[in-house]
Amino acid sequence: MFPSHRPVKSTFSDLFEAAPDASVIIDAAGHIVFVNAETETLFGYQRAELLGQPVEVFVPERLKSQHVALRNAYLASPRVAALKCRMELFGQRKDGSKFPVGINLNPIFTAEELLVIAAVRDMTARKLAEGCLAAVRAVARILAEPGEIMSATPRMMQAICESLGWDVGVVWTVDRQAQVLRCVDVWHAPTVEAPAFAQASRQATYTMGVGLPGRIWHSQRPAWISDVTQDANFPRAPIAAGEELHGAYGFPIYNGVEFLGVMEFFSRETLPPDAQLIEMMAAIGGEISQFIEGRQAKQTVRGRQTEFALARQIQQGLLPETMPVLPGFAFGGASQFCQETGGDYYDFFPMPDSSLGIVIGDVCGHGIAAALVMAEIRAMLRALAPTHADPGSIVALTNSCLTEDLPSGHFVTLFLARLDPGTGSLVYCSAGHPSGYVLDQHGDVRSVLESTGIPLGLGLPLVATDFPNAPGITLLPGDCLCLFTDGVTEAFLPEDVPFGIERALNVVREHLHERPDEIVQALLRAVADFSGNQDPLDDITAVIIKVGAAA
């Protein structure tokens, strides 16, 4: 029975206790009548503390009145509803800490009253992953611009702060003559005032080993400080305390040969070490250093065009030479690399029960390093696919192998689907990959295939990461499945205007009655025309599958 004043069958109690999400049941007055064990774990309350309380006990103070109004509106017209993290929903634990949540609501109409089941999921990991991807993409655009790399670091620092919620950022470069680190720039969020800290940073210099920048210079590794006001090797501690800055993280910037400088980031919150955030920040630092190294390496390989042409030829051989032949389906796909080789990937391969595997992926970074990671992923997927029917299991196994081998600061977005050609059923798992789209025969969006997990390589080594499948969909005659890497949607005009998903889908609509390979080529031409036929800043890949069509 539910531990409340209302008797409910134990079968239902057992069901909710076993649920992976926090499950909360409220009555028509908004009072809690049941919570499961996961709710206690997520919010830090004992069950007895919650029963009979208004559900707003889980809501941050600044949002309580707004939540009451939303709750009353929902109870006046109850329905199944999914409130996703992009709506910026937040929960609050007993200790006052806040975190982003996703909520699914389901009404239950009993003979006596209306009850509502709320399934609550902590979205912190997903939002961190989304913020990391946004930061990496913003940094990549800045790095691709001409000019000196270090002169662009203030804008990169701002992009990272805004994407991941840091309050203050500081960039340091090496003064080789004086052998000290000097401040290049300080950025702070619009809602944060830290003038004394900014001034102290601009006036300070640090030798190797001194302060957060100096210790990163000495170790050549990232560093995390939970609370700089309590750190014995942080000379700006008194000023930071006066302006309520506490948590800090910094990473080094290299060019592949020498140390160039440091980026450091500060939060007003005390930050216990967060393994996932550390990994994500390392990914961004790695992307910056990798790009700088790649730009310099590009200057030294101009005399090795034959080798690169061979590498490109080998990689092209890893992409499908011909499209699958399935009655009632037609396939098209193409990749265009921004360097001699690249990290984009798409493929089709057999899976159990005569089904077809469909994959598209994007390795962070460009060039040979990304191409090597892509080749490893291709080999793992093709090795697992014949004996595993579940896309999520294949992605999880691939991630387990990849996390051990992938260099720090690298990650992969991957979309893997299993298509049953007999029924048109499509089951997929998306590890941080841009959304796919299913257009109907009129070009209207019928389904959006959103990400179901974080990118590969961002989890902790030897720790299992969940890669769930999305609910299955059925492809209907006339449907057109569209899959892209972000090189399509994030191609830019010189005015920094992105090509965007709507332009991409409109190109598909304009060519909807053509063959998939013709649609793909039309899309690549449209992206090239949009960006002024300049060399692409990122690898570009598109896959188009039409239903009810001959190959």
3-state DSSP of 252-302: EEECCCCEEEEEEEEECCCCCCCHHHHHHHHHHHHHHHHHHHHHHHHHHCH
d(CA 162, CA 167): 8
Counting Cα atoms < 13 Å in the Cβ hemisphere of 484 gives 29
Q: Which CATH superfamily is domain 126-300 in?
A: GAF domain (3.30.450.40)
Fold agreement (10-122, 126-300): yes
Residue 270 neighbours by CB under 8 Å, 6+ apart: 226, 227, 246, 247
pLDDT at site 379: 78
pLDDT at site 289: 74
Residue 4 neighbours by CB under 8 Å, 6+ apart: 33, 34, 51, 52
pLDDT in tens, 515-537: 999 999 999 999 888 887 666 66
**Averaged over 200-206, what is the pLDDT?**
95
Tokens 């409130």: give the residue.
83
pLDDT at site 253: 85
pLDDT at site 132: 72
288 pLDDT more than 50: yes
pLDDT in tens, 401-429: 776 656 655 788 999 999 999 999 999 99
Structural contact between residues 156 and 162, judged by C-beta atoms closer than 8 angstroms: no
Structural contact between residues 101 and 89, judged by C-beta atoms closer than 8 angstroms: yes
d(CA 282, CA 489): 25
Burial of 287 (0-12, 13-18, 19+ CB in 10 A): buried
pLDDT at site 551: 46
194 pLDDT more than 70: yes
d(CA 89, CA 86): 8
CATH of domain 307-319+327-547: 3.60.40.10
Tokens of 448: 């959006």
List the one residue out of 445, 267, 416 whose CA is nearest residue 345.
Answer: 416
Does the domain formed by 10-122 have CATH 3.40.50.1100? no
What's the CA dihedral at 514, 520, 524, 525 to 10 degrees? -20
Tokens of 138: 């913003």
**Averaged over 152-168, what is the pLDDT?**
84
Domain spans of the chain? Answer: 10-122, 126-300, 307-319+327-547
Tokens of 479: 């449907």
d(CA 271, CA 462): 24
Lowest mean pLDDT across 59-68, 104-113, 339-348: 339-348
Model pTM score: 0.51
> If you average pLDDT over every residue of the chain, what do you get?
82
**Averaged over 126-134, what is the pLDDT?**
72
pLDDT at site 317: 54
pLDDT at site 2: 43
